[in-house]
Amino acid sequence: MSVPFEIEVEELDRRRKAGDDLFLLDVREGWEHDLCVIDGSALIPMHSVPGRVAELPIDRDIIVVCHHGGRSAQVTMWLRSQGFDRAINLDGGVDSWARRIDPNMKVY
């Protein structure tokens, strides 16, 4: 089964509501995470991911999240190069999530 490189926020919302076993990896900085967060996501800032890669599940879809999707795309590519074939970038990041899924979430 081929895993797509990116997922739209609507598809992530659908999969979460369906109870899919997803690991949400937030690669933003701590101050960004303090402003807003998708419930259930684990914070590992981008620069810390290589040193904390052992904390990530190899056998689950890892949805990589940042502000707009740029940093998370870089982390997704790196994770895939490290054998995490189920790493998936969240297209548009928390900004798209706030604007299209959770209107109560703060945007910045």
* Residues marked as catalytic: 66
Task: Please name the helix (run of DSSP H) or strand (run of DSSP E) that holds residue 42, with its range, or none.
Answer: strand 42-43
Residue type, 56: L
Residue 39 CB-density burial (10 A; 0-12 exposed, 13-18 middle, 19+ buried) = exposed
Q: Work out whether strand 61-65 and strand 87-90 pair parallel, antiparallel, or are unpaired.
A: parallel
3-state secondary structure of 22: strand
